[in-house]
Amino acid sequence: MTRIDDTFARLKAEGKKAFVAYVMAGDPDYETSLAIVKALPGAGVDIIELGMPFTDPMADGPTIQLAGQRALEGGQTLDKTLQIARELRKDDQRTPIVMMGYYNPIYSRGVDRFLAQAKEAGIDGLIVVDLPPEEDDELCIPAQAAGLNFIRLATPTTDDKRLPKVLQNTSGFVYYVSITGITGAAEAQAAEVGPEVARIKSQTDLPVIVGFGIKTPEAAQSIAGIADGCVVGSAIVAEIAAGKPVEAVARFVKGLADGAHRA
C-alpha cells in the first residue's frame, strides 16, 4: 500500500472525492514554489502533482509551458525538485506526491538512480506522459518494483481496444484527460466525461481522476461528482503566474478543493 492507496481508502471511508493539485516545481522560483507546495495540504489538497520542468513539454498548453520556462530560467533542476519533496516530508508524511513530466530528465539521470532518489525523497508516484505502455520495461515496471505507483493517462481517443493496454500496469489511479488537446485548452463538461469515466471504471478497480479543463469550484464539484476526484493544474499555475502571494494562491486552491469535496 502506498500513500496514494491509503489516501483513496481514507477518502472512500469518509465518502469524499479526491482533489489533486498540480504545480510546476520551481515556479516562479524555488523558495516561492516550496512555500506553495507546503501550503497545499492545508488548503485541502489530497494529492500533490509536482511538475518536472522540461524544455520540450509537448502535452502542455501555454500556461504550463511558461511555468516550466520560468522554473528553468530560475535555475530549477531535477535535484531541486526532489528537494521540494524532501522539505515537505519533514512536516507531512501523509500527503502523496506524484512527479509529473517527461522521460528525458529521468533517462538522463539513469532510471535506477532516479527511482532510488525519488523513493528516498518521499515521492509516491510518477506520471510520465511520453512513455506509452509499449515502453513499460523502461520505467513503469522498475518504478512499481521500487514501490512507486505508475499512473497512466487515458484520453477521449483511448478506445476499447487500446484501454486494456493502458490499464495493464497502471497503479495508484487512472488519470482521465477530459479533452482532446493540450492542458488548459478548453473546459471539461461532466455530461461528456461521465460516460467515459464509467467505461474506464468498468475495466478497472482503480480510482479514476479527471483532469484538464477544470478552472472553478463549480467545475471541480461537477467533474468530481462523476469520477473519484479531479485534478486542477493550469488554473492554479495561472494564479502563480499572476504574481499572487502564497496565501492568495492557497485561498484559490482551497475554493477548488472545497468544490471537489462537496461532490
Catalytic residues: 49, 60
- DSSP 8-state secondary structure symbol assigned to residue 95: S
Can you tell me which residue has the cell 538522463?
108
CA 73 to chain centre: 23
| Residues whose CB is less than 8 angstroms from the CB of residue 13 and which lie 6 or more positions away in sequence, other chains included | none
What are the residue ranges of helices labelled H in the chain?
Answer: 3-14, 30-39, 62-73, 78-89, 103-109, 111-121, 140-145, 163-167, 190-201, 217-224, 234-241, 246-262
Give CA–CA dist 153/211, Å, rounded: 10
Distances in Å between the alpha carbon of 96 and those of 4, 47, 88, 190, 212? 6, 5, 10, 26, 20
Cis preceding linkage at 142, omega within 30: no
